[in-house]
Structure 1
């Protein structure tokens, strides 16, 4: 099964956006991510609807953060992306007639719900400013900017 990497990719983009003075175009972001500008616009539109980014059209336009990184959590971005499933596992038959399968389903669903609640609580506690601080610590340890950022 293919992993959904939109959360990590958008967190990457948002921290970069905070580090740059000018607006980021969909084309620039697409180049950074190795994807199509239309995919970038569609994805960032969800973030715009949740008040995370704004966009301006025309010359000098592009995407910019709508809030400070300290005001945006990983959970905010996860929700803006449509709250994709956190796990690739699940039950085989939601309406199982077999009592064994019903017992299995109940325990799997319960464990996954508990795990999801834990992950989402952790996402709520992590702000994008925490990611940016970690980036700046790593940048300082490396000795400054290189072309490999």
Structure 2
């Protein structure tokens, strides 16, 4: 099963956007995420509907952060992406006739629910401001500067 990396990618782009004074184009974000600008626009539309970003069309337009990073959690972004599946694992069949498989499903279902609840709680406790602070500490420690336009240049 292919992993869904949209959350990681969107968080990456949002943190880069927070470092830029003006709008960031879908093309620039697409280059950073190694994808197509149309994919970026679809993903960012959910973030816009949630009020996390805004977009401006035309020359000089693009995407900007619309809310303070301290007011956005990882869970908020996850929900804005449409709550993608958190785990690649699942039951072999959802409604098995075999009593052994029913027992296996019951055990796995409970474990998956508990793990998902724990993960979503953790997502809700981490803000983009915390990620930004971690990024800044790493940048200072490395002695590097980061620029979305050049750091991901192909």
Q: TM-score range by the shorter chain?
A: over 0.9
User: Please, which runs of 5 or more residues in structure 2 have no aligned partner?
Assistant: none
Shift of 1:148: 4.4
Tell me the SS of whatever aligns to 1:13: helix
Aligned to 1:39: 39
Aligned to 1:130: 130
Shift of 1:36: 0.7
Tell me the SS of whatever aligns to 1:91: coil
Q: Does residue 109 in structure 1 map to residue 109 in structure 2? A: yes
Aligned to 1:50: 50
Distance in 1 between residues matched to 2:27 and 2:57, nearest whole Å: 13
Shift of 1:32: 1.5
Shift of 1:44: 0.4
Shift of 1:97: 1.4
The CA deviation string for residues 21-78 of structure 1, in whole angstroms up to 9 with x for no partner, is 0100111111121211101101100111111111011111110111011000000010
Aligned to 2:72: 72
Distance in 2 between residues matched to 1:144 and 1:102, nearest whole Å: 54
Distance in 2 between residues matched to 1:60 and 1:110, nearest whole Å: 50
Higher RCO (C-alpha 8 Å, min separation 6): 2
User: Please, which runs of 5 or more residues in structure 1 have no aligned partner?
Assistant: none
Tell me the SS of whatever aligns to 2:63: strand
Tell me the SS of whatever aligns to 2:54: strand
Distance in 2 between residues matched to 1:39 and 1:100, nearest whole Å: 43
Moved over 6 A (4+): none
With the length of structure 1 as denominator, give the TM-score of the two structures: 0.96
RMSD across aligned C-alpha pairs, in angstroms? 1.2
Distance in 2 between residues matched to 1:20 and 1:66, nearest whole Å: 13
Instruction: Report the more deviating stretch, 120-129 or 136-145.
Output: 136-145
Instruction: Report the more deviating stretch, 92-101 or 77-86.
Output: 92-101
